[in-house]
Structure 1
Amino acid sequence: MSDTIDYGNKMHRAMRGLIAEVLEDVGANGLPGEHHFFITFDTRHPDVEMADWLFDRYPSEMTIVVQHWFDNLIVAPDGFQITLNFGDNPEPLAIPFDAIRTFVDPSVEFGLRFESQDDEEEEHEVVELPDVDLAEALELDKSDDPKPKSKTDKGETVPAKEAEVVSLDAFRKT
Structure 2
Amino acid sequence: MHYEAMAQDALRGVVKAALKRAAAPGGLPGAHHFYITFKTDAAGVSGPTDLLGKYPDEMTIVLQHQYWDLAPGETFFSVTLQFGGQPKRLSIPYAAVTRFYDPSVQFLLQFEAPPAAIADARPQPAPPAEVEDPSAEPVAGETKIVSLDQFRKK
| Same fold, TM-score > 0.5, yes or no | yes
CA displacement, residues 119-152 of structure 1 (integer Å, 9 cap, x when unaligned): xxxxxxxxxxxxxxxxxxxxxxxxxxxxxxxxxx
SS in 1 for 2:47: coil
Q: Distance in 1 between matches of 2:14 and 2:56?
A: 27
Could you tell me which runs of 5 or more consecutive residues in structure 1 were left unpaired when the two chains were aligned.
Answer: 119-174
Counterparts of 2:113 and 2:56, CA distance in 1: 17
Q: For residue 37 of structure 1, what is the aligned residue in structure 2?
A: 34
Provide, for residues 6-33 of structure 1, a one-character-per-residue CA deviation record: whole Å limited to 9, x for no partner: 2111111111111111101110130110
Shift of residue 46, structure 1, vs aligned partner? 2.1
**Residues 42 and 114 in structure 2, CA contact (< 8 A), matched pair in contact too:** no
Quote the offset at 1:116 in angstroms.
3.2
Q: 2:70 aligns with which of 61, 69, 73?
A: 73
The residue aligned with 1:52 is: 49
Comparing both chains, which one has the higher relative contact order based on Cα–Cα distances under 8 Å and sequence gaps of 6 or more?
A: 2
Runs (4+) off by over 4 Å = none
Q: For residues 16-31 of structure 1, what are the structure 2 equivalents within 5 Å?
A: 16-29=12-25, 30-31=27-28
Q: What TM-score does the superposition give when structure 1 sets the normalisation length? A: 0.63
User: CA-atom RMSD, angstroms?
Assistant: 1.2
Pick one of 1, 8, 32 that aligns with 2:4. Answer: 8
Contact 2:33 2:63 in 1 (8 A): yes
Residue identity (%):
42
Displacement of 1:53 in angstroms is 1.0
Alignment correspondent of 1:89: 86
SS at match of 1:94: strand
In the other structure, the counterpart of 2:126 is: none
Secondary structure at 1:64 match in 2: strand
Q: Taking structure 2 as the reference length, what is the TM-score of the superposition?
A: 0.71
Aligned equivalents of 1:63, 1:23: Cα separation in 2: 15
For residues 69-93 of structure 1, give each alpha carbon's deviation from its aligned partner in whole angstroms, at most 9, with x where no partner exists: 1001111110100000112111000
1-structure distance, mates of 2:113, 2:21: 27
More helix by share: 1
